[in-house]
Amino acid sequence: MPPIPGSGLAKGLAVTLRTMTKKTVTEQYPDVQPELPPRTRGVIGLFEENCTVCMLCARECPDWCIYIDSHKETVPAAAPGGRERSRNVLDRFAIDFSLCMYCGICIEVCPFDALFWSPEFEYAETDIRELTHERDKLRDWMWTVPAPPALDPAAEEPKEIAAARKAAEKLAAQQQLEAKEQREAQEQNDAQQQPDAQQSDAQQEGQE
């Protein structure tokens, strides 16, 4: 049976009419910012205080886009007679995002939680050299890292939080003990000074 003349046009108009009745899904970027998933891989932020310069991230990076420089410093002994220690001090931490393929291996292998994903993605540059972010800029990205999801109420308390809580409780108990000892010492001092003051007053009355 030969096709009816104009049937193709009718089908096309039918698709157009069905689409016109649906809600638009076009994102009006950049006038309207997109709603990104919480785990969006936008840019990597550096929490410098947690970095121990172990070099795991740089060694595991498949693109070799992480550059780290450091030097060693000698730390004096914590107690008399103790041994001095040496520690690594971070001099440079940079990521070349023109080479990075956003695999996230550096974040996964970091044993001290010094690297985090941020959903920010608006850091395009006209000069490719500007895509190498030094540690100051990587630290600024930390302000855009979203908070971690809430823990399951039935889950066990993380070991880090438990250790920090025990340390805080121990420090508070030690401070309370020191304050109590100071109060007792002050009370004993006051008790000793009171008879001396009375004796001095009695001697002055006797002389008069």
51 annotated as belonging to a binding site for a ligand: yes
What does the alpha-carbon distance between residue 137 and residue 146 come to, in Å, rounded to a whole number? 17
Per-position DSSP letters for 28-75, written without gaps between them: -TTTS-----TT---EEEE-GGG-----HHHHH-TT--EEEEEEEEEE
Reported as type and span, the H/E element at residue 116 is strand 115-118
65 annotated as belonging to a binding site for a ligand: no
CB-count burial class (<10 Å; 0-12, 13-18, 19+) for 115: buried
Q: In 10 A of CB 110, how many CB atoms?
A: 20
Reported as type and span, the H/E element at residue 96 is strand 85-96
CB 137 within 8 A of CB 123: no
CB 47 within 8 A of CB 90: no
From the CA atom positions of the chain, what is the Rg in Å? 34
Binding-site annotation, residues for [4Fe-4S] cluster: 51, 54, 57, 61, 100, 103, 106, 110
Binding-site annotation, residues: 51, 54, 57, 61, 100, 103, 106, 110
